Structure 1
């Protein structure tokens, strides 16, 4: 059985989009060797990443990510066994969203912070991850 770990983090100010793309390219090679798949979204200095694969390999990779000084405020939001990978064809899918794209996606996937079904186990991992990410960033904009 595979394992899925999803986290949110903030990039330090010196981590540019170019640095993130370089990390993604190196990660694709490493993930292929480790049989890890997943995606990374970069939105206004915020990162959300889904890692899927053998549990020990995913957890070891995550520990190295947590220790990386280019991240701050690394928070695990999903950590669980899975029966099927959502990103089995991507060693590291990547997308940078502009503020406009972020707003468009928010309109498609409205998030109610009071909605307890946010972490409904029957929802696909990607939907829970996106909803949680948008909720987190919505609160940060207001604060």
Structure 2
């Protein structure tokens, strides 16, 4: 089995309500658990950045499905490389709706953007750089 990490960005083709996002999260977590895919989704209407970790063939099939999804466009892979271990192995899909309000505290949502940089997960250097850049551009 060949473990890979894929990071991609996209633009939502519609405005997502909090309920829409919760439903998306629920379905994605269930599917990702079945596929043994982990990762994190960061969302700032209308932009998304997602990290996916899993077996290469599974990620390729999943990403082909993601590219066909009409709910977003400009789907661009910015990183795809083999990894020796998962950085997001302790949840099936972390999610943070980035907004002016504090994100809901519920299963599946995380505080990635609110936590001090020193407390962030230990990631591969390239993915770490991408997430930190995204976080910095969003917050500052």
Asked if Structure 1 and Structure 2 have the same fold, meaning a TM-score greater than 0.5 normalized by the shorter chain, the answer is yes
- Residue 132 of structure 1: CA displacement? 4.8
Q: Which moved more, 1:48-57 or 1:128-137?
A: 128-137
Superposition CA RMSD, Å: 2.5
Q: Distance in 1 between matches of 2:67 and 2:136?
A: 22
SS state of the match for residue 77, structure 1? strand
User: Could you state the TM-score of these two structures normalised by the residue count of structure 2?
Assistant: 0.74
For residues 107-143 of structure 1, the C-alpha deviation after alignment (integer angstroms, 9 at most, x for no partner) is x88xxxxxxxxxxxx6251x222245358779xxxxx
User: Could you state the TM-score of these two structures normalised by the residue count of structure 1?
Assistant: 0.72
Give the unaligned 5+ runs of structure 2: 103-112, 118-123
Q: 1:49 to 1:131 in 2, by over 3 A?
A: same
Does the Cα contact within 8 Å between 2:41 and 2:93 map onto a contact in 1? yes
Q: 1:123 to 1:95 in 2, by over 3 A?
A: same
Query: Is 1:60 aligned to residue 78 of structure 2?
Result: no
Q: Distance in 2 between matches of 1:86 and 1:77?
A: 17
Give the unaligned 5+ runs of structure 1: 110-121, 139-143
* Count of aligned pairs: 121
Q: Give the aligned partner of residue 24 of structure 2.
A: 23
SS state of the match for residue 125, structure 2? coil
Q: 1:137 to 1:67 in 2, by over 3 A?
A: farther
- Residue 76 of structure 1: CA displacement? 0.5
Runs of 4+ off more than 6 Å: 135-138
Structure showing the higher helix proportion among its residues: 1
